[in-house]
Structure 1
């Protein structure tokens, strides 16, 4: 099969595209021929060697995709040949074929566009757990999202808006600012302009996937409010003094999606909740940017450039 792979950690120049052995499946797995493969910042960290990556020779990046079942294990009775499934936590996804455990496979609804499902998959489930497991906001709460026009930010913003929250945020360009406002945000600030001093202590909850902005987030949140830290797309976070948090009654929460996608039932229930927002038109996303898998280097470069709006998909 064709795959995007690398032998050594480093920048995009280490990525190679070519033929490698196809994966084998066991009795409890599916062989999925990928149609769309999601690209994420975590893949950049893995390529650099600063984030966990499954052992494989050569290394194959990627953990999410959508495709068609082309082979089933002998013990599988919940899926059949030709079924369309997606997955968000299966390694070696930057390839034409992926071996997927049945408990990690999620049925694709027939009344939603496959590209849209692939574009919201991991980011959508991430937004869902941030909103419903960590944030737990109430209608009327003022919430703030760093990187509001990114893959997670777009979905989280619309999810919170549809649930009755007042959503604010930051982004990097006027075009992205306009997009976030169209998607229901009350106010969106450009990161390059000074704005934050007028908003210190104004928000019930801050969603911070940037990392280096963590101190700013703690300044923006009210006493008894919470900052939800879920990523480091802008760099490592600074060290935080827990005594200062104590004296201001501010909470710093974090979590890993994989601890919430603990079984097939969790995946199915959370996916159905996410799909409901999509079916009801409460979440709309910008068209994902697609690259052929053979041009994986360009896709990684585009994601790292910060120019992307929303999801990047690789197409075998």
Structure 2
């Protein structure tokens, strides 16, 4: 089969399109013929070595396809089933081995591409809006990078829960996408904290969902009302440097958390519960999935370059 292989961490040139042996499912695993693959910033972090992984490895933490074979001891999943997964390495390939207990059954009414575009980022948006900070009707919420993959879904979920979304974007094109997703107010990044104060009568927001990191961190803290929460779920602009916790006191007994999906979908029950709700919203039309780019598997490098260069909106997919 063909796959993308990283032999040495580094820039996007580290993504080599190669022919490798077909994987074989072991006990408790299934082999999937991959139909579509989600591209995510965590793939960049793995490629760069920011999150070290023994080399060589096949990147990719999200995909969908059809089960081709099951390993010993597998129950509840059979050949021919349509499934998706997230959080399992090895997705940038024509075939992938996935633990059976991490597969997500796909409803008949959802195609492969929308499913691949919503699993990792949709579940991320779900845990942020329902668990990390459970948005309530009337809450003021700041969503950074609101035209990105998580941002568009998160904006919609906050609106489904009755929150008011103040969004940040970097261009007029992205502003339109954020507004179409339901954002009540849309700001550029420069001076956003002062603008947020102005839009909230000087109080600040209840929660900031920040996947940008280094360049937005100070402004995010300055945008919070007393006892507000900064959910720092990513670092697309770079890691946040160490800071003095006294800043949280000075800002009004603020909270900060660095959550990750693995801890919010740790059990199969929680994984399937979140997935069922997210996929249900997609099937009913309550959640719109925006696919911003489709690339052949062999062009994974171009997909990473576009993602890192902020030339994209919504979700990027690789197609084997």
Equivalent residue for 1:59? 57
Structure 2, unaligned runs of 5 or more: 198-202
- Give the 4+ runs in structure 1 shifted more than 4 A: none
| Alpha-carbon spacing, 1:240–1:85, altered in 2? closer, same or farther (3 Å) | same
Q: Give, in angstroms, the shift of residue 267 of structure 1.
A: 1.3
Instruction: Give yes or no for the alignment of 1:259 onto 2:256.
Output: no
Match runs of 1:93-104 below 5 Å? 93-104=91-102
Shift, 1:195, TM fit? 4.2
Match of 1:211 in 2: 213
Among residues 101, 104, 107, which one is paired with 1:106 in the alignment?
A: 104
Query: Contact 2:291/2:317 (CA < 8 Å) preserved in 1?
Result: no
Q: Which residue of 2 aligns with 1:141?
A: 139
**Residue 60 of structure 1: SS of its match in structure 2?**
coil
- Displacement after TM superposition at 1:52 (Å): 3.2
User: Of the candidates 262, 267, 292, which is equivalent to residue 296 of structure 2?
Assistant: 292
Is residue 241 of structure 2 the alignment partner of residue 244 of structure 1? Answer: no
Q: Which residue of the partner structure matches residue 6 of structure 1?
A: 6
Task: State how 1:82-161 maps to structure 2 within 5 Å.
Answer: 82-161=80-159
Structure 1 counterpart SS, 2:109: coil
Cα offset, 1:241, TM superposition: 2.0
The answer to whether the aligner puts 1:18 opposite 2:18 as a matched pair is yes
Size of the alignment, in residue pairs?
Answer: 313
**Distance change (3 Å), C-alpha of 1:195 and 1:74:** closer
Give 1:124 shift: 0.2
Residue of structure 1 equivalent to 2:72: 74
Say if 1:24 and 1:99, in contact at 8 Å, map to a contact too. Answer: yes
Select between 43-52 and 278-287 the one with higher mean Cα deviation.
Answer: 278-287
The TM-score normalised by the length of structure 2 is 0.94
Q: Is the CA contact (8 Å cut-off) linking 1:134 and 1:254 kept in structure 2? A: no
Question: Is residue 27 from structure 1 mapped to residue 31 from structure 2 by the alignment?
Answer: no
Match of 2:200 in 1: none
Kept in 2, the 8 Å contact 1:159–1:282? The answer is no
Instruction: Quickly say closer, same or farther: Cα 1:197–1:76, change in 2 above 3 A.
Output: same
| Alpha-carbon spacing, 1:2–1:122, altered in 2? closer, same or farther (3 Å) | same
CA contact (8 A) 1:143 1:205 kept: yes
Deviation at 1:167, TM superposition (A): 0.4
- TM-superposed CA distance for 1:82, in Å, is 0.8
Cα-Cα RMSD: 1.4
- Does the 8 Å contact 2:291/2:316 carry over to 1? no
The alpha carbon displacement at 1:246 in A equals: 2.4
Q: Report the Cα distance in structure 2 between the residues aligned to 1:65 and 1:49, rounded to whole angstroms.
A: 21
Q: 1:269 aligns with which of 273, 278, 282?
A: 273
* TM norm structure 1: 0.95
